[in-house]
Structure 1
Amino acid sequence: MPPVDSICHLPDALLLRILSELPTAKDVVATMVLSKRWEPLWKSVPKLVFDDDSNQNIDDTGSRFSRFVERSLILHEAPVETLHFNLTEESLVVNEIGVWIALAVKCSVRDLIMDIDCPTILPRSLYRGSGMLVSLKLKSVTLMDVSPLPSFLTLKALTLASVKYPGDEFVRRLLSSCHVLEDLDVEQCVGDNVTIFTVKVPSLISASLYKSAKRCTQSEDGFVIDAPSLEYLNILYDTSGFCVIENDMPHLGEADVVASHSSPGVTLTSFNSAKRLFTCLPYSKDAYSVGTVFHRLVYLRICTCETEWLNLLMRLLNDSPNLRFLKLQECHKIDSTRPCWNDPSSVPECLSSSLETLEWVGYQGREEEKEVAAFILRSGSCLKKVTISSKSTDSDKKKLEMLKELSLSFRRSPTCQLAFN
């Protein structure tokens, strides 16, 4: 670390960048005692993190922390690009949050993060910054209803984690007021008072939607999505529910779809325009409508933890004529009931015309795994690279046996490489 004197001669812009990398606002303010050169700099730092955990070692009370936050924001002289509140119940003064947000608006905050360790009601003052916010991240808060909702004219990224809402209609109005929103990350929690979470945002490019397993919901609980500009969509259900796509997503590049045993309403039918697909479903028959063809799909990753994964794999291979990359991977806790393999009556078109790469992570040499691997290796006319990775706990002897078995099924080709890790 160079001495303070040598750093003092650096230009202000560089010093402010250095201060922005400090962990908390408390650390930033502390630099004012270094020298007269440093004394005013903290008032212009573009990033402030108020973390009440950092005060516990000196036995700060909530009131003292609140005064520090308020005074720091009042004295700040330059716009704040990023303002991050990391709060715990011990020092949270609920009545002060409205004041802090009002001061944040005064500081022209563009990126606001509210990470709170206990349920907290955010005041209406949050919406006063709607005209300048570019990124908003809320965790463990309760939103108040406001009518009419202001338009978030500049908001491009929104994260809602364990947030409680006034109801379904409020969520629909909130997201509809975000006219340029591009990234949305939602984690629905217990007791959020929303049954149908509607995402109707024409500008949306990326969305990750998750329903917690702890939610006590009924079958009518789900997501309704109308976002024709989507390029990435991640749907994760740990509980029952459905997902309705109201319009085509012609620009969809990647989709991740994971559902639990109790979510037969989540299907792949609306994802047939995806180029890359990762899926883990406990069912194959109702995974998507008969006649659906995945013409654009070139990359497919299937989780092998569910009993139905083999049937789902064969359906997707038959309905993905241009598939080039196939990855099989056990991503979750494996189902105790193992599937049975039946040799198909015909070879899927992609195996004979387009599939170039097979990657299998967590291969254990189970009977059904050996059968499907042998089928793909025999039928893959265009295969160029096959990589099989066993579990790290397998012995060298077992790995050698699995390699020998796979080699017997391998279609000999000078252009294809078989690697066993």
Structure 2
Amino acid sequence: MVGRKKKTKICDKEDRISQLPEPLISEILCQLSTKDVVGTSVLSTRWRSLWQWVPELDLDSDTFSNFDAFVSFADRFFDSNKESWIRKLRIDIPNSSHSKSFPTRWIDAVSTRRIEHLDVHFAFCRPEESPSLNIYVCQTLVQLQLQGVALASAEFVTLPSLKIMHLEYISYPNESTLEKLISGSPVLEELTIRTCFFFYKEKVLQVRSHTLKRIHINESSTQFVIDAPLLQCLKAEVIFTKKFQIINSAFPGRLDIDINSTSESLICDILTDISRVRDLVINRRTWKEIFAYSKSGPVPQFRNLSHLNATFYIYDLETLQTLLESCPKLESLVLELVKDRLRRHNNLETNVIFSTVPRCLVSSLKFVELKRSFSGYKGEMELVRYFLKNSSILEKFRLDTYYTKKAKCAFIQELLTMPRCSSACEIHCSLITKKIC
């Protein structure tokens, strides 16, 4: 009797799930892996074909027994119901040996099925071995991410909904193809181009867009001429020479720059760019090059800079004061401390003593965030003390650092007793703990 009641209860649950509307079931299935979604087809006759209507699909060739099985499964999915909606498709093929057999017909299929997000990740291979794609006409595509593929020559591009485009390790036959891809996306807001290849060498790529707000470029063989009046943020890796030029617009308000060069002329050029921005992201290597350059002349002044996100090696912290003195109107500082993994010994015992108080601490600095993802740096307390003691109008000091449980308690006790120059300053702590070995 008891057994019969349990059986009836289970059947009732199965009936309630099966009676849900198909759109709701599809959204539930989107939360599962592709393998688990397909597995639901054995539950009952009602569920046998529901997986074919899931609007999100993640195809990873490594999750199949072999590549033929992967292709067979994908073909079944795309041929099962050509009227189904595929909102998001991700294809990941980490084995480059299958490049010539890559079924580009899948991409052609989804371009007519209201797709919004397309992510194709292919193993890096030589440009002539990359699978060729043609994704130039799609009314609904919002986000496009391509890696390790080749773009076919473009005669006509219309992507009226595309807002985000990331291109990494791709190849294309000529600069006109990529220029048409950008200009044919009239609402494009974010563009990433990293290490791309021409089938023949070209020198200049024109990036023209009246909607672009964010650009990230990391390409050493191409010069980018950027015509984007609404550009807000430019992120660039600079190797040997600067590969970007901005025309017909004001310089972006935010610059995220990574320099890998000791060229004085390049450093001077970059300093000119930095002097124009209000928001700067700078890593340890870039500041090290700028600091070395400044030794031969006056310290550069970034008079427009109000927001600074900087990363420092511990042993370079003594140069932090110089950086702060270069930013007389700084309002917000995010400082991340890191260890040099290539350095055999990082001196975690060193305390950095600052001899002066930069102008920004007295007149403009309102927010400081200190980040550290490793344990054992004993000079951090003096660094915290320096900011709290000397920042006259500081409103918020945030700590996002790493401590053992024992050290955390001692740190908090000392932090609470530290004198603060600003009575309005609030301290927010996010102290990650680690078991003591």
Could you state the TM-score of these two structures normalised by the residue count of structure 1? 0.74
AA of the residue aligned to 1:164: S
Structure 1 position 182 matched with structure 2 position 189:
yes
Q: How does 1:171-250 map to 2 (within 5 A)?
A: 171-188=178-195, 198-211=206-219, 223-237=224-238, 239-247=239-247
Structure 2 Cα separation of the partners of residues 370 and 15 of structure 1 = 54
Structure 2 distance, partners of 1:413, 1:179, is: 48
**1:309-320 correspondence runs (5 A):** 314-315=322-323, 317-320=325-328
Secondary structure of the corresponding residue to residue 290 of structure 2:
coil
Match of 1:73 in 2: 78
Contact 2:165/2:192 (8 A) holds in 1: yes
Where structure 1 has 5 or more consecutive residues not aligned to the other structure, the ranges are 212-216
Aligned to 2:119: 113
Query: Is the CA contact 2:391–2:422 (under 8 Å) kept in the aligned structure 1?
Result: no
1:32 aligns with 2:27: no
1:327 alignment counterpart:
334
> 1:114-133 residue pairs with structure 2 within 5 A?
114-119=120-125, 120-123=129-132, 125-127=134-136, 129-133=137-141
Which structure 2 residues correspond to residues 1-400 of structure 1 after superposition, within 5 A?
Answer: 3-24=13-34, 26-56=35-65, 60=66, 62-76=67-81, 77-89=83-95, 92=98, 94-119=100-125, 120-123=129-132, 125-127=134-136, 129-144=137-152, 146-168=153-175, 170-188=177-195, 198-211=206-219, 223-237=224-238, 239-247=239-247, 252=252, 254-262=254-262, 265=266, 267=270, 269-270=272-273, 274-280=277-283, 281=286, 282-284=288-290, 293-294=303-304, 297=306, 299-305=307-313, 314-315=322-323, 317-321=325-329, 323-331=330-338, 333=340, 343=355, 348-362=358-372, 364=377, 379-386=390-397, 392=403, 396=407
Return the alpha-carbon distance in structure 2 between the equivalents of residues 326 and 93 of structure 1: 47
Distance 1:389 1:42, change over 3 A: closer
Partner SS, residue 50 of structure 1: strand
Structure 2: state its 5+ residue gaps.
Answer: 1-9, 432-437
Give distance in 2, aligned partners of 1:243 and 1:316.
28
Contact 1:47–1:81 at 8 Å: present in 2 too? Answer: yes
Residue 207 of structure 1 aligns to a residue whose secondary structure is strand
Counterparts of 2:41 and 2:381 in 1: how far apart (Å)?
67
Distance in 2, Cα, partners of 1:419 & 1:50: 43
> 1:37 is paired with a residue of what secondary structure?
helix
Cα distance, 1:325–1:124 mapped onto 2, change above 3 Å? closer
**Structure 1 13/147 Cα, relative in aligned 2: closer, same or farther at 3 Å?**
closer
Specify whether residues 240 and 341 from structure 1 end up closer, same or farther in structure 2 by C-alpha distance, changes over 3 A only: farther
In 2, Cα distance between equivalents of 1:330 and 1:106: 49
Letter in 2 for 1:78: S
The CA distance in 2 between the partners of 1:149 and 1:306, in whole Å, is: 52
After superposition, the C-alpha distances for 1:83-138 in whole angstroms (9 at most, x for unaligned) are 221224388363452322222234343322211124353435433x3444222111
Measure how far apart 1:39 and its partner are: 3.1
> What's the secondary structure of 2:24's corresponding residue?
helix
* SS of residue in 2 equivalent to 1:126: coil
Structure 1 contact 302–327 (Cα < 8 Å) conserved: yes
**What percent identity do the matched residue pairs reach?**
24
- How far apart, in 2, do the equivalents of 1:394 and 1:45 lie? 46
Q: CA deviation at 1:166?
A: 3.3
Distance (Å, rounded) in 2 between the aligned partners of 1:304 and 1:153: 42
Alpha-carbon distance change, 8 to 169 in structure 1, aligned in 2, over 3 angstroms: same
Instruction: Supply the distance in 1 between the matched residues of 2:145 and 2:218 (Cα, whole angstroms).
Output: 16
AA of the residue aligned to 1:229: L
Distance 2:85 2:39 in 1: 20
Instruction: Give the structure-2-normalised TM-score.
Output: 0.71
Conservation of the 8 A alpha-carbon contact between 1:97 and 1:123: no
* Amino acid paired to 2:259: A
* Residue 142 of structure 1, CA deviation: 2.4
Higher alpha-carbon deviation: 154-163 or 242-251: 242-251
